[in-house]
Structure 1
């Protein structure tokens, strides 16, 4: 078609320079009607029954690792509950997703998260592949590509809750930050990608910057605030690769994150009140093996290992101490897809290392946190999913240091309408 147009122009007596100018103007302009955003809405609701009531549950945690996992937490400037937080019925969220090309050089994606506590921008970023040479640039608020599950939204998870090691180390939302991301895909016969991210560094469980305002002057600090560092303060790097062996796809990656830590628990009750200031490092390795039996039936093994190091000073209202933590855990899950309607799976979670020293003295913390999950789900179509899940959580401890085994049965419905882009492998 372009040859016919070019020949017609030449026959009309136009010079090559004029033709080049016309073609350049055509390249710079486009039909805006072709760039109307894809719009989708995804809702998630659940019914939950637990062996421990909500009030007691909010006080449980993992000693030396995380506490209040089932309580409200700060995120996006507001307080919100975790997914499936309450006994009985839960409205977990409604997500409004917009996606479109901007022009020949950029695309734009945004996810707005609606809950009963308010609305927040989950993600809003631009992407450009116009740099060439296998480079991709992304900037805005985004989910980091650290590890495997971190970049996935909740509605794409194979289970209704986040793996224990992720939720304990990084919180329910993982690494979800303002920043910039650069990825390079190598010109190899198999998939090989390397990425680097510079992020604001405001993760509430592990990283942080700015300052903490104290209600009163803490004698351990001598002031009514603890000063952190300036943003951006979180740096993430990773390498990922994938290849096929017959009907089996193997995907794996190595990830690393490093940043300043300012973790604020100054408003906790009684002896729990503290602020940690120091450095944080997070190492990750992930592996996914997917074998397809036919167009519908498949078997997927997915596992991730995380190791975090925190080194700094922990302040309480009356004292301070040098704290060093090295903690490791993993999850491993098997998912069988029987046909286009039925899926089932099991998952094992563990945090097996919890080494903590205080002023050089080993605190001998508990280090056997385990959780077991099983699920079966039915899809009426690609837009509607109903999941029944059972959890046996043997990782939680109460404020007296006693283990509290937690049994949970959860029925979840996830419904979507509108056009929604396909998820990455």
Structure 2
């Protein structure tokens, strides 16, 4: 017995020094939790039927402008993915992920581009509350809908669906805040979640003051200004998995285009967003599958539209009500571990705009059609050829532009990268 105690004391001395510490005071061994590190590169070659100088001026009437190409709002310059004809280095994504201790994990996703560096996501997660409850805090992609939580490099197409980017911008709902989720103890997957977010979305939600602080066009809000809730369920039937969900988001809206060179304006009001998603995945064998994925979004913007002159002075402030909806539906066939192909249909279904109590007529047929085929050399590298016809864009003269786009995309990663959610 004495020999055993002496050996234990000797080991403790070697690890912790001459003064042997009691177990509860020993230093946590962080070396056992070295982060997983990965780097993702996304590049593309684009051949678009509209010149770069013109594409930034196109709009989806009554919904949004500046979806394609690079565009500016004041001092901010935004470049969408696949922005220019020719070669594009869209981004490099650096991912760090690790357990912190027995109670928390932490993930960081950093985007590097030729314009700078931004924190895409940085959050902690804890399952320590038990009872099927998970807590998340930091900056993260909301679990609203289906596609929103997925990163660009895991999408099945090189660009975001029309309705998502039109309503929420190319980053979707990506916010600072807190999230709590509860998974029910049911024989099938059933999860409910709630999020309190700061509310700084580029297309729909916002809370910043517009104009001069002392004499603002629209006053801002303090504290969190966006609330998101959702319920998701999934069930397996043989080789088929069915996933569905409903989502709701509500918050204040501040859209500041006061520095636009053409038609400066701003919007202040309230915003609501409803979502329904459905995914069906049928496995044919170990590598082959068919996946049908669809989402429907409907939004309501209710507030005041401010018309401005070039000096930023308000020239009009009529009430504005927008009730708009749209969907995308895509079918993906995975042939084997190397080849995949797919089709996607996008549309804006409803585009009702009321200004100062009067209906504003909007064009219909805001559709887009996309096809793609991709080849994987391995799970770390894939190359995609994509073609689309876009009938949703109009020029400054109110004429529809038929936009044909060919994209050759390369997406390559190195390092250890966690699996993406289904």
TM-score calculated relative to the size of structure 2 = 0.91
Residue in structure 2 matched with residue 265 of structure 1 by the alignment: 257
Task: Encode CA deviations 1:223-250: one digit per residue, 9 max, x unaligned.
Answer: 4542122231000000001010000000
Question: 2:257–2:265: 8 Å Cα contact kept in structure 1?
Answer: yes
Select the residue among 356, 362, 366 that pairs with 2:363.
366
- The structure 1 segments of at least 4 consecutive aligned residues displaced by more than 2 Å after TM superposition are 22-26, 28-31, 71-75, 77-80, 222-226
1:300 equivalent in alignment to 2:298 = no
Task: Encode CA deviations 1:355-398: one digit per residue, 9 max, x unaligned.
Answer: 01111111111232100000000000000000000010010000
What's the secondary structure of 2:287's corresponding residue? coil
1:189 equivalent in alignment to 2:206 = no
Question: 1:38–1:420: 8 Å Cα contact kept in structure 2?
Answer: yes
What's the secondary structure of 1:207's corresponding residue? coil
Select the residue among 239, 244, 266 that pairs with 1:247.
239
Separation in 2, partners of 1:79, 1:196: 32
1:314 equivalent in alignment to 2:311 = no
Select the residue among 386, 405, 424 that pairs with 2:402.
405
Separation in 2, partners of 1:128, 1:29: 22
Question: 1:210–1:231: 8 Å Cα contact kept in structure 2?
Answer: no
- Aligned pairs for 1:6-405 (under 5 A) are 25=24, 30-72=28-70, 79-213=77-211, 223=215, 225-270=217-262, 272-317=263-308, 318-405=315-402
Question: 1:45–1:91: 8 Å Cα contact kept in structure 2?
Answer: yes
Task: Encode CA deviations 1:175-224: one digit per residue, 9 max, x unaligned.
Answer: 00000000000000100000000001000100110201259xxxxxx945
Which sections of structure 2, spanning at least 5 residues, go unmatched? 9-20, 309-314
Question: 1:391–1:407: 8 Å Cα contact kept in structure 2?
Answer: yes
Question: 2:56–2:71: 8 Å Cα contact kept in structure 1?
Answer: no
Separation in 1, partners of 2:47, 2:272: 36
Separation in 2, partners of 1:214, 1:243: 53
Separation in 2, partners of 1:93, 1:147: 24
Question: 1:208–1:263: 8 Å Cα contact kept in structure 2?
Answer: yes
Separation in 1, partners of 2:229, 2:252: 16
What's the secondary structure of 1:169's corresponding residue? helix
- Cα distance, 1:308 vs structure 2: 0.3
Question: 1:214–1:266: 8 Å Cα contact kept in structure 2?
Answer: no
Separation in 2, partners of 1:300, 1:74: 37
Which sections of structure 1, spanning at least 5 residues, go unmatched? 1-7, 13-21, 216-221
What's the secondary structure of 1:254's corresponding residue? strand
Task: Encode CA deviations 1:43-62: one digit per residue, 9 max, x unaligned.
Answer: 00000001110011110010
Question: 2:69–2:82: 8 Å Cα contact kept in structure 1?
Answer: no
TM-score calculated relative to the size of structure 1 = 0.90
CA gap 1:29/1:303 in 2 versus in 1, 3 angstroms: farther
- Aligned-residue CA RMSD (Å): 2.0
